[in-house]
């Protein structure tokens, strides 16, 4: 189910008519993958809401937090992308300089599909990379869109570090650099995959990379839609033996 939903997402994203559309590029689906879609179809009219939520955050030993959250919402094929900074003040203490060193791992940036890594060279750290797919049903009313559409690269910073949200290679990328040499985290989506990394050089840090894909579908599609889907499926049945 997750694979088929991800393919659905890759088909929907290129149709977005506003500024968020140029952040993603369509991914070609092979004949073998198309063969697995038989009987697993969804008409665009049956999708009430489609969205992607990404967040990256870093909490250091003083309790100070820096991060960002991105919400991409598509209602009735009208897209809106909102970037929200994540801030939290600490107790005023400055963490000691990170002494660890994380090396290697460059190949993780070239993985197709989902790539996740947490590497630490310090003590008492906690890192999490998480991706989930949520499919739900709705009465048919789209979710209201709030906020401003994507307006370009954005950067936020405080005592915990700095995070930048940018469009890279047709996708979306979040890069976080913690202060005092505590480490770095990154997350990206696009080009047919998701990449989540956390490299921790200090101590007592909590790092989170979270991505959630949601699809809300109508409860009862019309009989006409169901008939159309059934007829369209007949057209792909092999004609061997006739």
Residues of the chain with pLDDT under 50: 1-19, 21, 145, 147, 223-224, 227-228, 231, 234, 236-237, 239-242
Q: How far apart are the C-alpha atoms of 171 and 194, rounded to whole Å?
A: 10
Amino acid 16: pLDDT: 42
Of the candidates 221, 36, 23, the residue with the CA atom closest to the CA atom of residue 6 = 36
Q: Can you list the alpha helix ranges (DSSP code H) found in the chain?
A: 2-12, 31-35, 223-234
Cα torsion 21, 22, 23, 25: sign: positive
Global pTM value: 0.70
Amino acid 28: pLDDT: 65
Pull the structure tokens for residue 79.
């897209």
Q: How far apart are the C-alpha atoms of 112 and 42, rounded to whole Å?
A: 25
DSSP label at 241? T
Q: DSSP states of 3-41 as a string?
A: HHHHHHHHHHGGG--SGGGGG----PPPHHHHHTTTT--
Of the candidates 193, 200, 149, 155, the residue with the CA atom closest to the CA atom of residue 174 = 155
Of the candidates 170, 211, 165, the residue with the CA atom closest to the CA atom of residue 191 = 170
Do residues 205 and 122 make contact, with C-beta atoms less than 8 angstroms apart? yes
Amino acid 163: pLDDT: 96
Pull the structure tokens for residue 124.
């008492």
Amino acid 37: pLDDT: 57
Amino acid 65: pLDDT: 97
The model's pLDDT over 36-67, given as tens digits with 9 standing for 90+, comes to 655 555 555 566 677 888 999 999 999 999 99
DSSP label at 126? E
- How crowded is residue 232: how many other Cβ atoms within 10 Å of its Cβ? 11
The model's pLDDT over 156-192, given as tens digits with 9 standing for 90+, comes to 999 999 999 998 877 889 999 999 999 999 999 887 7
Amino acid 219: pLDDT: 65
């Amino acid at each position: 189910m997750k694979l088929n939903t991800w393919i659905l997402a890759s088909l929907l994203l290129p149709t977005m008519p506003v500024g968020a559309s140029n952040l993603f590029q369509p991914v070609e689906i092979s004949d073998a993958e198309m063969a697995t879609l038989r009987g697993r179809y969804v008409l665009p009219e049956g999708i009430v809401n489609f969205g992607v939520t990404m967040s990256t955050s870093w909490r250091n030993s003083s309790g100070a937090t820096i991060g960002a959250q991105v919400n991409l919402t598509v209602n009735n094929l009208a897209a809106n992308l909102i970037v929200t900074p994540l801030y939290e003040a600490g107790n005023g203490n400055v963490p000691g300089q990170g002494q660890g060193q994380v090396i290697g791992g460059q190949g993780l940036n070239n993985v197709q599909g989902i790539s996740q890594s947490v590497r630490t060279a310090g003590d008492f750290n906690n890192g999490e990379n998480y991706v989930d797919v949520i499919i739900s049903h709705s009465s048919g009313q789209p979710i209201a869109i709030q906020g401003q559409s994507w307006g370009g690269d954005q950067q936020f910073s405080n005592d915990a570090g700095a995070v930048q949200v940018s469009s890279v290679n047709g996708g979306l990328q979040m890069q976080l650099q913690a202060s005092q040499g505590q480490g770095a985290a990154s997350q990206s989506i696009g080009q047919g995959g998701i990449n989540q990394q956390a490299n921790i050089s200090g101590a007592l840090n909590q790092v989170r990379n979270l991505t959630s894909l949601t699809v809300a579908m109508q409860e009862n599609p019309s009989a006409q839609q169901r008939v159309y889907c059934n007829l369209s499926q007949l057209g792909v049945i092999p004609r061997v033996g006739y």
